[in-house]
Copies of this chain bind each other. A is one copy, B any other.
């Protein structure tokens, strides 16, 4: 119930990006503004954070972030490749060096055939860096949203440190970037 660790993750990510002279954009689905809110809770965030898109309605993932329509039709919104395209899309549309994204099922009901707690987070960065992590989370809707925020900050922190996320916290599991031709 202590929110401090997530806030510290936001602060650490912002400090590292500022030190590297890089900017950040965020695309959210199940977290619905929480990732952006954690970042903008840190004074001076505007040096790094350009903005965010919460694409809660599935078609906004296509219209605002450029996620491929056939992919959304075939797999629904809760999918690792959707997360990857959301991160790449928000990075491009908002003109940032790094893009991060969340999509998943916070509950209380399953969605798109996926059980509550199924979450994908992704990172897209300079030089074609792209990474997706699948999370299986337990707890309340609030718990799942908060752990998703933590998960995407951990994934980004790992990439900013120069390599794959080592020992992601909780039950995060790093995957190889999925490449499906964007369709």
Contacts and interface: CB of A to CB of B under 8 A. Distances in A.
A51 B60 contact: yes
A40 interface: yes
Given A32-B37, A32-B45, A142-B41, A54 B57 contact: no
A18 to B, nearest CB: 14
Interface string A118-154: 0000000000000000000000011001000000000
Q: Could you say which interface size class chain A belongs to? A: 35 or more
B60 A56 contact: no
A166 B24 CA distance: 40
The oligomer's copy count stands at 2
Given A45-B56, A56-B51, A34 B32 contact: no
Contacts of A28: 33, 36
Residue of A51, A64, A142 with most partner-chain B CB within 10 A: A51
Contacts of A35: 33
A46 interface: yes
Interface of A: 26, 28, 30-41, 43, 45-46, 49-57, 60, 64, 93-94, 107-108, 141-142, 145
